[in-house]
Chain A
Amino acid sequence: MSALHPFSLLAIAAALPAFAWILPAPTGGLATAGLALMLPLVPDPRWGVRVVRLALLTAAPFWLFLRLLHDGPTTVAIGGRITTMVASFVWLVAVLSPDRLVEAMVARGWSLAVAYVFAATLSAVPVLKARARRIVEAQRCRGLSPRGSVANRLRALRALALPLVLSALHEVDERTLALETRGLGAGVPRTPLAAPPDRPAERVARWALLLLCLAALIWRLA
């Protein structure tokens, strides 16, 4: 799956939510949600289960809020669509490596800075997770327990939030400087290193997806 061209992966992750909102509820949304949740299981079921679990955990609070605000049918209708969006995004983050995306975008003539911002957004979650882990480790070494009662957990969460945000902001300055030293602002087109191959079949499939989306839209509006 990750051998697909980055644009193909993006196209799939964009098309599923699009179908979810275009097709009639609740069948459309539930069907796309099912598809989005099956995607990670295709290449390697054991790896896929972890991705699916993360997607479901992320989607769960949305269902809860929807149920609090709406009746059952509306909850299922919107829930399916939101689950599709969440699952597609979680799958995309898991399967798309930022460096391949940058290379693909640069090879297509995008500016490196734009490609970098795009890729940095994709990798923001794992980077923040790693940073949070290091901060929590250091805090535990100074006696703060993140376990136990709900009050305890909330206290630990509050203690984490401030340094997490502040250190991320602080690092933005350093990162800007550091990337500049690596020629990010050189102002010349970057040489693509091993640009991912884009098979004709994939191009055709991407166009087909787009046309299918348009067709569905026209059918729904007509």
Chain B
Amino acid sequence: MAVNGALAFDGVAFSYGNVAALRDVSFEVAAGERVALLGRNGAGKSSVVRLVTGVLHPDEGTVWVGDWDTAGRAPEELAWRVGSVFQHADQQLFARTLREDVSFGPRALGFPAPEVRRRTDEALDALDLHAHAAQHPYDLSPALRKLAALAGALALEPTVLVLDEPTAGLDRAGRGRVADAVREHADRGAALLVVTHDLAFAAETLQRGIVLDRGRLACDEPLDRLLTSAERLKPLGLVPPPVAALSVALDLPGRPVRERDAADTLARVAGGRSRS
């Protein structure tokens, strides 16, 4: 297969023992693209994340990270290209201070001290964590620990960033910080794959939606189109987020799914109405 994307699944199947988790899954994510991986609990989303990181390897098919086939590559080798955050951040924090923790990746990859420092500073910056840099990870609130784990992944400066439920348990301000950080990272050319149940976050931050249903790829299309189609979401266990639902209910032109776009459209249409 010709590899154009930063990340590609080609006919991937995977099972845990005799329980099939993924069947014949193929998709590609280009550099700079922001993709949501959606679906019910147990649809196989977390398996995709673990396959990208090399913690798991496919039974059939190939996972490509750039021009690397992950087969035969260990997670520590893929860490040169892949940054990841798993579901429960607590088991991903290892050091005595937040700063030391964020620098864990660059140090493990053997970068010289000034480079480690630069990457750590930038990652702390991206998530606005400098104020907590000297604290012990376990002294932070669960929400901050979540952000800390993401900072640790960003410090690898990966070309592929895979995140499993990065906003679970975060308040709106926390979700905003995650959104800004990952968008900025994608703008620098990284491919972004985010597993999430938080469709409002997906609508604001991501562009394309891939939906898994019982281990198979059920759909792959632009999020704004997918999220405004309640009848297509329903059988996949998904519900349109409020902005998308409002766009449809008010029949807003262009069916915007992002808050800013919807507010602008709403203001424009309301203005037009009051003039006529």
Residues of A that sit less than 8 Å from B by CB = 131, 134-135, 137-147, 159, 162-163, 166-167, 170
Q: Are B156 and A145 in contact (CB under 8 A)?
A: no
- Chain B 9-40, CB-CB to A under 8 Å as 1, else 0, gives 00000000000000000000000000000000
- New contact pairs (15) apart from A139-B94, A145-B74, A167-B138, CB-CB < 8 Å: A137-B75, A138-B91, A139-B104, A141-B79, A141-B82, A143-B106, A143-B156, A144-B104, A144-B108, A145-B76, A145-B108, A162-B95, A162-B96, A163-B95, A167-B91
Q: Are A140 and B75 also in contact (CB < 8 A) when A166-B138, A170-B138 are? A: yes
Q: For residue B110, which residue of chain A has the nearest CB?
A: A143
Q: Which residues of A lie under 8 Å from residue B138 when comparing CB positions?
A: 166-167, 170
Q: Which residues of B lie under 8 Å from residue A134 when comparing CB positions?
A: 91
Q: Which residues of B lie under 8 Å from residue A145 when comparing CB positions?
A: 74, 76, 108
Interface residues of B in 124-153 (CB under 8 A from A): 138, 152-153
Q: Are A140 and B94 in contact (CB under 8 A)?
A: no
Q: Are A142 and B105 also in contact (CB < 8 A) when A147-B74, A170-B138 are? A: yes
CB distance from B17 to the nearest CB of A (A): 16
Q: For residue A142, which residue of chain B has the nearest CB?
A: B105
Residue of B80, B91, B152 near A135 (CB, 8 A) is B91
Residues of B that sit less than 8 Å from A by CB = 53-55, 74-76, 78-80, 82, 84, 86, 90-96, 104-106, 108-109, 138, 152-153, 156
Q: Are A141 and B94 also in contact (CB < 8 A) when A147-B74, A166-B138, A170-B138 are? A: no
Q: Are B90 and A142 in contact (CB under 8 A)?
A: no
Residue of A142, A146, A147, A170 near B104 (CB, 8 A) is A142
Residue among A131, A134, A141, A170 with the highest chain B CB neighbour number at 10 A: A141
**Interchain pairs with CB closer than 8 A, number:** 64
Q: Are A139 and B108 in contact (CB under 8 A)?
A: yes
CB distance from A166 to the nearest CB of B (A): 7
Q: Which residues of B lie under 8 Å from residue A140 when comparing CB positions?
A: 55, 74-76, 79
Residue of B55, B109, B152 near A137 (CB, 8 A) is B55
A–B Cβ pairs within 8 angstroms, 16 of them: A135-B94, A137-B75, A139-B94, A139-B104, A140-B76, A141-B55, A142-B156, A143-B105, A145-B74, A146-B76, A163-B91, A163-B94, A163-B95, A166-B138, A167-B138, A170-B90
Residue of A131, A141, A159, A170 near B84 (CB, 8 A) is A141
Q: Which residues of A lie under 8 Å from residue B82 when comparing CB positions?
A: 141
Residue among A134, A138, A139, A142 with the highest chain B CB neighbour number at 10 A: A142
Separation of A166 and B101 alpha carbons in the complex (Å): 14
Q: Which residues of A lie under 8 Å from residue B79 when comparing CB positions?
A: 140-143
Separation of A163 and B74 alpha carbons in the complex (Å): 22
Separation of A167 and B108 alpha carbons in the complex (Å): 21
CB distance from A49 to the nearest CB of B (A): 20
Q: Are A144 and B76 in contact (CB under 8 A)?
A: yes
Separation of A142 and B97 alpha carbons in the complex (Å): 17
Please provide the 9 A-B residue pairs with the shortest distance between their CB atoms, ordered closest to farther.
A143-B79, A143-B108, A140-B75, A142-B105, A144-B108, A143-B109, A145-B76, A138-B92, A163-B94
Q: Which residues of B lie under 8 Å from residue A163 when comparing CB positions?
A: 91, 93-95
CB distance from B9 to the nearest CB of A (A): 18
Q: Are A142 and B86 in contact (CB under 8 A)?
A: no
Q: For residue B93, which residue of chain A has the nearest CB?
A: A163
Separation of A159 and B95 alpha carbons in the complex (Å): 8
CB distance from A79 to the nearest CB of B (A): 38
Q: Are A167 and B75 in contact (CB under 8 A)?
A: no
Residue of A131, A143, A162, A170 near B76 (CB, 8 A) is A143
Q: Which residues of B lie under 8 Å from residue A166 when comparing CB positions?
A: 138
Q: Which residues of B lie under 8 Å from residue A143 when comparing CB positions?
A: 76, 79-80, 105-106, 108-109, 156
Separation of A167 and B76 alpha carbons in the complex (Å): 22
Q: Which residues of A lie under 8 Å from residue B53 when comparing CB positions?
A: 141
Q: Which residues of A lie under 8 Å from residue B104 when comparing CB positions?
A: 139, 142, 144
Q: Are A142 and B91 also in contact (CB < 8 A) when A137-B55, A137-B75, A147-B74 are? A: no
Separation of A159 and B94 alpha carbons in the complex (Å): 8
Separation of A170 and B74 alpha carbons in the complex (Å): 30
Q: Are A141 and B75 also in contact (CB < 8 A) when A166-B138, A170-B138 are? A: yes
Separation of A141 and B75 alpha carbons in the complex (Å): 5
Separation of A187 and B239 alpha carbons in the complex (Å): 44
